[in-house]
Chain A
């Protein structure tokens, strides 16, 4: 997926922007420090994500390891059935989902684990390096023999090694691999340490990993499997297929005669949406990292993920990138002037009394102290924010969505919140369970306020329990009219009447002890939500941690090559920044590059463009640009060889960019491929139907 490229592009674009801000800010020594901090944080997030991903893949990797062990052990005992059975090549079909860029990491940790725990002989292959069977063979032999050859440098083995080296340079065949393997295992018997022996099997399998099965050439793969099956008796081979789509591709790729040589077992990995969900939970919804995303940015990133590439790795990279970008802000705490300009800070100062205001605006040291305090507050806010967020268990809505809502607006004013509260008010038994769950989530949190909340919750719980012990449930009175209602089939009028009555009774009815406790609990939760789930925008100095500019993200991550080409062609000043190219009304100046002029002229043509007319128009513009006298004879004449050469070049450049193409409908004409409408709505343009 080429999205990675655009990320790198993004990186390049971002770097200068940080520098710019640095110039705005403080001196060089500060920027160095800022850069270091940024790097540290980046590294921290990176290691955290990596370990998280490892953990997510743990179960599937473990089962894969088990599979390899099992395969190599069943191979070794030779009872009747295993003698009679055709010796198939054990194959693990690893279904990883379409987020191909993420797979690298999985495969890397897989091969590392295999090398540590099961076998030193692991070769992973990518389709693009195995175009032909020859290359595939070469890669396998290189990876298997090359890596292990360098590991041990016994002098006795030296001549053997060189002989295999010469062989390898001549050709590659699995026979050589067999010999190599035999010598390897024999050497292992004699000289290698006992530790290794106990850890590894006596005949460690030779694992070949096909990272992207779909992209492999069918023919090559079939031949390779056929060859391998000839050697399976001598060489304990094993395959791992990395599959992005569905396991039935194996059957599409391999005919029965080949697939019957394999013993395929399926391993399904976590779906990537789940994957992302956990990553967000663990990385974004914690108070560990001071760096946060604002609602809109979050939405942009998630939609990129869902709409375009599904790649968790890219998502993380995006997040990291954002972080890099926002870093200048987050460290600008020293840059006092800038702080004073922050809108949230202004709001804060406006709330203070006059003296304080003056102090804040003028006295730097005071400001510093104040800032420190504010930042502390902010951290506290975060500490409380996330646990309360985890109270979502009450309403069983997803924490991520809740997080998004919270980021955007005050949650307790939303409709969903109201209805959730209403629902809670109706609950009886479930409430207890959910409160218990809340207590569970609150327990590990160490902030003071949360401790308080926990204690209160527990009190409520004990109260409910006492109620349960003392009195039987009292809610019979409410349910009975409903029951009676359903029993006798009444007409509509009566139904309304009874319902009204029921409402009346409920309103007037005295609250049962259970209900009072329930209301108490709800008030507590409501209070918690109101005090801690306020949107981050309301917090002072939230700019320090939150990254808000979603437009920049969108612009940097959604590369729109077409739009930029069109911008460059119709407004060359935008990129060239040359004063002479500056025009007001969107017209192109005469001094613009040839291709811009040709482009501008072609916009005025219909579907088919007469090349000669085009050339004439071009020659007129070009000679005006050269400063020729409009009244002279040669003005706008086409026979100027130089200008027609320039024109031809511009036309072929336009063809290369895909704006025109040659056509057979008319001689001396080219067909135009893009249309005015595209030009007009540059931002959101659509491709018109070529009808």
Chain B
């Protein structure tokens, strides 16, 4: 059943163990091994592995390097807030702390290469060293020269070193304009349903039989496979719902083999899980608690997105309404809505061609501060003095992310904003202040 991994230079039983630990990834592991070659041989300078989330990239690399006891440094690029961290981690795992402390305060790439070569003279590589860079897509945001340099690190440091990139994005999106050394590409395809079944069935509950757990996984995949193929997430869901699955068994109502009854019991529960805990509307802790007390009918748990009500000060509400109107109405129509004697302007008369599409489909448009205030003073029903607190409310709406500032922070004069709330939200807000917003929206004229 388990395909054999073969590569000279490694111990046979180790390879066996690796193969056992990497179900459904034997093919990829085999390819990788053949790329890596024998330990002491030089390997290809850089390998680029891509595949979706939880398709086993890191896992395969980790198991291979660990079980075969190869010298390696694993760096997660998300963690490297500065290149210094990246360099340090590589030096640390190859040459120890002393080498890492040789790095100057804000090291450049050449500092790194220099120190690497120095250390390399003292400790030359007996076998290939591996640098694994997880989430390599973040390398693109770092210094422009970093990625091309790392791609040919072997050449730069003149050492038997191979860099392996792990990414969820294809290589085409990485290639810099100036061109660079092309790494070997390796794709990790998604697990198929059968493979997921096989992998998930492996972590069976110690007090139940393997077949029982496998049938549970089968049901689980039946519900979730269409929405989620993330192995990690599926395993999480399996663990969360297993106790519910076992419930009728513990009560002695059904036998382990009675799959149909078990299915009838668990299926609605899993469906509910898909709408709540999978979307993180309900936290997994709450979900577990809910399972325990469900008999008492606690009533439906309200998810995170159910709480949308926001309490705002009176004028802030009107400011938000004014901002919404300014964002979704063309500026030319302000006369029509906010002037008493605007004359008769029919919609068709002042329609420009591009305005025929709904503004709500196009999204909010930026508007200057004075337009916002002008609309504000005409929608608010009482006379309001333009005090500092009105202005400060605008900035607090920005911090609450209900408005967004479009222009740069430094631009003091005529700042521009966009309204960032939805139609439903603004309707709810205007209902609380008895303002019929639909009457003022150009799209609904």
Closest B residue, CB atoms, query A67: B285
Interface membership of A98, Cβ < 8 A: yes
Interface membership of A187, Cβ < 8 A: no
Closest A residue, CB atoms, query B232: A86
- Do B314 and A688 have beta carbons less than 8 Å apart? no
- Do A2 and B395 have beta carbons less than 8 Å apart? yes
Contact of A246 among B81, B206, B310, B388 (CB under 8 A): B310
**Digit string of A554-585 for contact with B (CB within 8 Å is 1, else 0)?**
00001111110000000000000000000000
Segment of B149-157, B158-166, B276-284 in the binding face: B276-284
**In the complex, which residues of chain A have a beta carbon less than 8 angstroms from the beta carbon of B78?**
223, 226-227
Interface membership of A162, Cβ < 8 A: no
Report the separation of the CA atoms of residues A435 and B438 in the bound assembly, to the nearest whole angstrom. 49
Chain B interface main SS type:
helix
- Do A310 and B79 have beta carbons less than 8 Å apart? no
Chain B, interface size category, equals 35 or more
**Digit string of A1-33 for contact with B (CB within 8 Å is 1, else 0)?**
111011000000000000000000000000000
- Do B314 and A307 have beta carbons less than 8 Å apart? yes
Closest A residue, CB atoms, query B378: A689
Known: A98-B316, A250-B304. A558 touches B385 (CB 8 A): yes
Interface membership of A69, Cβ < 8 A: no
**Digit string of B102-119 for contact with A (CB within 8 Å is 1, else 0)?**
010100000000000000
Known: A246-B309, A691-B339. A86 touches B205 (CB 8 A): no
Interface membership of B402, Cβ < 8 A: yes
**In the complex, which residues of chain B have a beta carbon less than 8 angstroms from the beta carbon of A673?**
370
Closest B residue, CB atoms, query A305: B313
Interface membership of B38, Cβ < 8 A: no
In chain A between 54 and 113, which residues have their CB closer than 8 angstroms to a CB of chain B? 70-71, 74, 80-82, 84-86, 88, 90-91, 93, 95, 97-98, 100
Known: A170-B105, A263-B283. A684 touches B304 (CB 8 A): no
- Do A308 and B401 have beta carbons less than 8 Å apart? no
**In the complex, which residues of chain A have a beta carbon less than 8 angstroms from the beta carbon of B383?**
684, 686
- Do A173 and B79 have beta carbons less than 8 Å apart? yes
Segment of B234-242, B264-272, B356-364 in the binding face: B234-242
Interface membership of B413, Cβ < 8 A: yes
In chain A between 227 and 256, which residues have their CB closer than 8 angstroms to a CB of chain B? 227, 230, 244-252, 256
Report the separation of the CA atoms of residues A417 and B422 in the bound assembly, to the nearest whole angstrom. 45
Closest B residue, CB atoms, query A257: B53
- Do A256 and B315 have beta carbons less than 8 Å apart? no
Segment of B65-73, B82-90, B174-182, B187-195 in the binding face: B82-90
Closest A residue, CB atoms, query B309: A246
**Digit string of B380-412 for contact with A (CB within 8 Å is 1, else 0)?**
000111111111110110011110000000000
Known: A251-B304, A304-B389, A308-B390. A256 touches B374 (CB 8 A): no
Interface membership of A683, Cβ < 8 A: yes
Interface membership of B445, Cβ < 8 A: no
- Do A259 and B280 have beta carbons less than 8 Å apart? yes
- Do A690 and B279 have beta carbons less than 8 Å apart? no
**In the complex, which residues of chain B have a beta carbon less than 8 angstroms from the beta carbon of A245?**
310, 400-402
Interface membership of B31, Cβ < 8 A: no
- Do A93 and B392 have beta carbons less than 8 Å apart? no
Report the separation of the CA atoms of residues A658 and B368 in the bound assembly, to the nearest whole angstrom. 13
Interface membership of B355, Cβ < 8 A: no
Interface membership of B203, Cβ < 8 A: yes
Closest B residue, CB atoms, query A261: B280
Interface membership of B334, Cβ < 8 A: yes
Interface membership of A616, Cβ < 8 A: no
**In the complex, which residues of chain B have a beta carbon less than 8 angstroms from the beta carbon of A244?**
400
- Do B84 and A98 have beta carbons less than 8 Å apart? no
Known: A174-B79, A262-B280, A560-B387. A86 touches B313 (CB 8 A): no
Report the separation of the CA atoms of residues A685 and B387 in the bound assembly, to the nearest whole angstrom. 11
Q: List B residues at the A interface (Cβ < 8 Å).
A: 53, 76, 78-79, 81-82, 84-85, 88, 103, 105, 203, 205-206, 232-233, 235-236, 238-240, 242-243, 279-280, 283-286, 304-305, 307-316, 334-335, 338-339, 370-371, 373-374, 377-378, 383-393, 395-396, 399-402, 413-414
Besides A98-B396, A170-B105, A661-B413, 10 new A-B residue pairs in contact (Cβ under 8 A), listed by A number: A1-B393, A80-B206, A86-B235, A98-B310, A172-B81, A227-B79, A273-B311, A305-B313, A310-B313, A689-B339
Subset of 11 A-B contacts with CB under 8 Å:
A81-B242, A84-B239, A88-B283, A88-B284, A171-B81, A230-B76, A260-B233, A266-B307, A309-B313, A309-B392, A688-B374
Task: List 6 A-B pairs, minimum CB-CB distance, nearest first.
Answer: A84-B239, A2-B392, A559-B388, A86-B236, A308-B389, A558-B387
